[in-house]
Chain A
Amino acid sequence: MRLEKHNADEMTPLERIYAYEHGLSYDRIPSVPFIGNVRCKVGGMTPEEYWDSAENMVKAELMSYQRFGFDRLGIGPNTRGISDALAAQVPDKKQGSLVLDDYSKLEYLEPVNARNDLVIQRFLQAAEMLQESAGEIVPVEISIGGPLTIASFLREIELLLRDCRRNGDKVQKLLRIIVDSQKSCIDAFAQYGVGIAMADPVANPALIGPKLYEKFVFPYTKELTDYALEKTGKKVSLHMCGATYSIWKYIEQYQLNEISLDNIVDLDRAARELGKKVPIAGNVDPVQSMLNGTKEEIFADVQKCIELGNSAEKGFHLTTGCDIPDGTSPEKVDWFMEAARLYGKKR
């Protein structure tokens, strides 16, 4: 199956994004609702069926595009896939984040080799199929998660947070292995012509504050975003949760396609400050508007975001403030896109 332009739009996503970035005339603002498991519902499968099969991932993504017509397709191992691949190296491992209950187990870990890894394999297949079916009209991005969040999937988060102060060298050692695994993923996925997406919820400054962000997150995110640009020729899309004001000074130093902002962030301030340095994206409320809101509330939120975000000098994409929760009706996403087409027309 090859994707075609969505009926409700005049341009394909690639045409739209090109026009938007080059100051040409475009039909509407680039819009990406982070649809989470809504894609599984649209594809007629459970999240488990989605996760276990490359064919299902591709099917869910293509069917979701056909229904909604959003401006980016996204699949990928994400935090969960990369932490699973790393955890698989530890013998007699315990469940979940107890894999590294003891740092002596670090000796078992080495960077994942994405091309040969069993967990990563199906995502590579999916990336190839997706790019083949859709790459001519819509960008495809592969999510590789975020280093500190992957670390929290291997070591209990309250221990990990304490370690940032007490056992910094061990955390750095773990992060090095994680980042090299992510770079191996970038290498492997780059061959298909796709872009890279990252999200690092645990690097939220409410948890670690700006000083620890500078030490344990900034250098690695900088390294990964630079590396991804070099290898794929495309800038990374980064999502950060939380009230991120105190780390904007770091975020503006990354090479980004967009920084997508939590719905608790003041989009007006973000557009005026952060939007001078990097393209911003945001931030329709995933719970109040998307899960629980009426059509009118979704329209109002979309309109507000477009009005505020549009003043960003480096550009603005309409997104949700985080993944839309499980159980959100796909109809809500229809309304989000309908509102984007209405309020996001180029004036």
Chain B
Amino acid sequence: MAKSKEELLEKLSECVLEMEEEEVVDVAEEYIAAGYPAFDGIMDGLVDGMNKASDLYDEEEYFVTDILLCSDAMYAGLEVLRPHLPESAQSGEKPKAVIGVVEGDTHDIGKNLVKIMMDTAGFEMYDLGRDVPPEAFVKKAIEIQAPLICISTLMTTTMIGMKTVIEQLKEQGIRDQVKVMVGGSPVSQKFANEIGADGYSVNAVEAVKLAKKLLDLA
């Protein structure tokens, strides 16, 4: 018997939360075959599951390992659903953000986690990867007209690169158009204030809240 839309949405959400990377593909295909809208499948199914995972992460029930596996399932489901979005939804204006780890540092778990969480929250993320020179952040932000740059580092030796990004935004005369948020183990609110960043967040869940606040999003 065909399952109802609600049943399938719940199943999609559960597959993400339970890290079922293969099953989620079957369920997503079943959902599309039944003629239900892809957009709801993404928002009320996959993203709902990822949001639940991030709540559990916040409550220290889930850990980085779990979030990585949940996101694998979410992205596997997205692969199936995304092509079925109507044109208008695909080109819909999402808030854009550039993200990367500063030059000299190759640790990027924290950055990847923030990227996953912001993806889930509806941001269009431009990931520059790790070991990224300051000018690359600025160049990318100009190119895609992103109102937000997210910079991370694990190492104290590279922290100063964050300040360079902010200085270069000033030199380009666009400091007032681009918000800069920073994070990573050695970074603190105090440091963020010192270098003139717009915000600091202590973890990936907080990063989403901060990003929304900085861009005045609900």
Residues of A within 8 A of B (CB): 157-158, 161-162, 164-166, 205-209, 212, 246, 287-288, 291-292, 325-327
B65 touches A162 (CB 8 A): yes
Bound Cα distance A316, B69 (Å)? 39
B157 touches A209 (CB 8 A): no
Among B56-79, those with CB < 8 Å from A are 60, 62-66, 68-69, 72
CB of B186 within 8 A of chain A?
A: yes
A206 touches B64 (CB 8 A): yes
Bound Cα distance A165, B65 (Å)? 8
CB < 8 Å neighbour of B60 from A161, A246, A325: A246
Minimal beta-carbon separation of A184 from chain B (angstroms): 29
A288 partner residues in chain B, CB cutoff 8 A: 188, 190
B60 touches A162 (CB 8 A): no
Q: Chain B CB within 10 Å — which of A166, A287, A288 has the most?
A: A287
A207 touches B109 (CB 8 A): yes
Minimal beta-carbon separation of A46 from chain B (angstroms): 14
CB of B19 within 8 A of chain A?
A: yes
CB of B156 within 8 A of chain A?
A: yes
Additional A-B contact list (7), CB under 8 Å, known A161-B68, A164-B65, A325-B186: A158-B68, A162-B72, A165-B69, A206-B63, A207-B65, A209-B65, A212-B63
Nearest to B112 among chain A residues (CB) is A158
Nearest to B72 among chain A residues (CB) is A162
B65 touches A212 (CB 8 A): yes
Bound Cα distance A253, B60 (Å)? 23
Among B180-195, those with CB < 8 Å from A are 186, 188, 190-191
Among B142-187, those with CB < 8 Å from A are 155-157, 186
B64 partner residues in chain A, CB cutoff 8 A: 161, 206-208
A162 touches B63 (CB 8 A): no
B69 touches A205 (CB 8 A): no
Bound Cα distance A325, B155 (Å)? 8
Bound Cα distance A327, B156 (Å)? 9
B155 partner residues in chain A, CB cutoff 8 A: 325
Q: Is the interface of A mostly helix, strand, loop or mixed?
A: helix
Nearest to A327 among chain B residues (CB) is B157
Bound Cα distance A157, B190 (Å)? 30
Minimal beta-carbon separation of B131 from chain A (angstroms): 12
A325 touches B156 (CB 8 A): yes
A and B contact pairs by CB, cutoff 8 A, 11 listed: A158-B112, A165-B19, A165-B65, A205-B63, A206-B64, A209-B62, A209-B65, A212-B65, A291-B156, A325-B157, A326-B156
CB < 8 Å neighbour of B186 from A164, A165, A208, A287: A287
Minimal beta-carbon separation of A208 from chain B (angstroms): 5
A158 partner residues in chain B, CB cutoff 8 A: 68, 109, 112
Nearest to A213 among chain B residues (CB) is B63
Pairs of residues from A and B, 9 with the lowest C-beta to C-beta distance, nearest first:
A209-B63, A325-B156, A161-B65, A207-B64, A287-B186, A326-B157, A208-B65, A162-B68, A287-B156
B112 partner residues in chain A, CB cutoff 8 A: 158
CB < 8 Å neighbour of B63 from A166, A207, A325: A207
Bound Cα distance A246, B63 (Å)? 12
CB < 8 Å neighbour of B66 from A205, A209, A246, A287: A209
B156 touches A162 (CB 8 A): no
Bound Cα distance A288, B192 (Å)? 13
Nearest to A166 among chain B residues (CB) is B69
Bound Cα distance A291, B155 (Å)? 12
B19 partner residues in chain A, CB cutoff 8 A: 165
Nearest to A205 among chain B residues (CB) is B63
B156 partner residues in chain A, CB cutoff 8 A: 287, 291, 325-327
Nearest to B67 among chain A residues (CB) is A161
A162 partner residues in chain B, CB cutoff 8 A: 65, 68-69, 72
Bound Cα distance A250, B68 (Å)? 25
Nearest to B155 among chain A residues (CB) is A325
B63 partner residues in chain A, CB cutoff 8 A: 205-209, 212
Minimal beta-carbon separation of B73 from chain A (angstroms): 12
Bound Cα distance A288, B159 (Å)? 13
